[in-house]
């Protein structure tokens, strides 16, 4: 099981109308740091259905087109639930730095979901940095992660 992300591939990012400002700011932040980002939208604050964007990001990660995914919606619950419908996705909802680290370290999450209405933008940058740089610990966690998918 992969311990690190293959950052030679782009990072997938998407959101609904509640997350546009955060998505755009984080995309810019990541690109300034030298990362390639594939933006799956949405691109305006007009009301949209979050599953459309969560599925697009998740499929991209699942097929290996992108190294991992980032999703935003108001609470992050909707995009997280949707992303986790994909067999190859382990999406985790993060609202603080320790959670962003643990969903990588213990759950080998490959999609991070953040609540645009409940966290400050500087914290989004910190959580994303922690998510990217934290390795999956493996060991006792690998056995548990291997039991997640329904097959």
Catalytic positions are: 73, 106
105 within 8 A of 49, measured Cβ to Cβ: no
105 within 8 A of 97, measured Cβ to Cβ: no
- Tell me how far apart the alpha carbons of residues 136 and 142 are, in angstroms, rounded to a whole number: 9
- Tell me how far apart the alpha carbons of residues 151 and 148 are, in angstroms, rounded to a whole number: 9
- Tell me how far apart the alpha carbons of residues 145 and 137 are, in angstroms, rounded to a whole number: 11
Q: Which residue has the tokens 């949209």?
A: 48
- Tell me how far apart the alpha carbons of residues 54 and 137 are, in angstroms, rounded to a whole number: 26
- Tell me how far apart the alpha carbons of residues 118 and 65 are, in angstroms, rounded to a whole number: 30
């Amino acid at each position: 099981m992969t311990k690190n992300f293959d950052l030679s591939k782009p990072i997938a990012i998407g959101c609904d109308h509640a997350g546009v400002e955060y998505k755009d700011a984080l995309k810019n932040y990541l690109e300034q740091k030298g990362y390639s980002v594939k933006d799956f939208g949405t691109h305006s604050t007009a009301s949209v259905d979050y599953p459309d964007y969560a599925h697009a990001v998740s499929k991209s990660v699942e097929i290996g087109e992108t190294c991992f995914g980032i999703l935003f919606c108001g609470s992050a619950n909707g995009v997280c639930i949707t992303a986790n419908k994909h067999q190859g996705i382990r999406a985790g909802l993060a609202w603080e730095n320790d959670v962003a680290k643990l969903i990588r370290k213990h759950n080998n999450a490959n999609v991070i979901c953040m609540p645009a209405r409940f966290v400050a933008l500087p914290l989004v940058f910190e959580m994303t940095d922690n998510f990217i740089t934290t390795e999956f610990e493996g060991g006792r966690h690998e056995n548990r992660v291997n039991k997640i998918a329904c097959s």
